[in-house]
Structure 1
Amino acid sequence: MTCKGRQLPPLADISILLKSRDGTLRGNLQAMDTKTQGNTIGFLVGTVNFKTYARDKYQLTVNYRGKHETLTLKPSK
């Protein structure tokens, strides 16, 4: 995740919701294994599905101070 044009916000202010075929994962970035470099945050969410198929889609919602953005993700081939 990249923050454009400014410093990274505190990780405690960012939470995510990841929906998959097998369930939903939620968490706050402060509680996750994260790495930051410049204005980029990398985070580890763990196992999402028991098996992954090319047709799978995931919805990642990032929440920050009452605003949210949802992305649809697909596995790489």
Structure 2
Amino acid sequence: MNIIIADDNTITIDTASGGVAITDDGGSSYNPETRELILNYSFDFNGVSYVAKDVFDFRNRVVDGVNQIGI
């Protein structure tokens, strides 16, 4: 799956080379303030149809007492 984030934070999803055919169902977006990524897509695999709405939330990481947000 290829994920392209536009300047207005809308997202386009398409099929990666050699991958399962992905249908972009629209409405995908990225919120830079909350760092939330929402993906809406569907695909068919082995005769079964799948519909997905994935929500990814940024999780800050601290390693050895160092905040990784700025790295």
- Judge same fold: TM > 0.5, yes or no: no
Q: How does the TM-score come out when normalised to structure 2? A: 0.30
Higher-Rg structure is 2
- Give the structure with the higher percent strand: 2
Q: How does the TM-score come out when normalised to structure 1? A: 0.29
